[in-house]
Amino acid sequence: MADSQKISSGVQDLINRLHDEGVQAGENEAERVVQKAEKRAAEIMAQARTEAENALTRAQEQIQAERTAVQDALKLAVRDTVLDLKSRLTSNFEMTVKKLVSAELHDKDFLRQMILAIVDRAAPDAGRGQALDLLLSDELFPVDANGDEPLSAFIQNIAHEVVTEGVELRPAGNNKPGIRLRKNQ
């Protein structure tokens, strides 16, 4: 029986050893699988993190590009608005000034004073033997339905005052309002 116990003990040792080796091999395999899974999980996490960072960078670049485009569009719109406003204000100012000047140029007293002031300034040139023509708007030399020139007496009175200065009053030959001075040709 000692042999049988020895055999039985040897079988039991063999079973225990096989069991221990199997358990150890299983634990080793489990650890290897876990390490492999953890490594793969880390790789997946790193790849996901990189992709997320790249997506975030692209989104930020897109946002910046759109922000820049919007700012440029706003600057252009502001510039266009300022130019349009400036143009309109200038145009309105010019029309207002033209109306005021045109109204003043139809005022006989103002026109007489202006002509005399221009002649007074031009007289030194005319006094040096250089005859000058003061060109007045054709509107100041109108002819009415009867063929009369209602402003001709007014123009002649002023002309009489300035002819002695060497300056002649003439129609400008155009419909532009105003007064121009030129050398007599």
Q: Counting Cβ atoms within 10 Å, is residue 172 exposed (0-12), middle (13-18) or buried (19+)?
A: buried
Q: How far apart are the first and last CA of the chain?
A: 160
- Same domain as 147, residue 78: no
The two structure tokens encoding residue 64: 């910046």
Domain boundary among 105, 121, 144: 105
Helix and strand tally (H, E) in the chain?
A: 3, 3
Structural domain for 146, as ranges = 107-183
- Same domain as 136, residue 89: no
Work out the average pLDDT over 64-81. 97
What is the per-residue pLDDT across 26-62, written as a single tens digit (0 to 9) for each? 899 989 999 999 999 999 999 999 999 999 999 999 9
The domain tally of the chain equals 2
- Same domain as 165, residue 76: no
Domain boundary among 41, 74, 105: 105
- Same domain as 85, residue 2: yes
- Same domain as 118, residue 94: no
- Same domain as 88, residue 5: yes
- Same domain as 130, residue 162: yes
Q: Which of 4-8, 47-51, 84-88, 165-169 is predicted with the least confidence, judged by mean pLDDT?
A: 165-169
- Same domain as 95, residue 5: yes
pTM flag (> 0.95): no
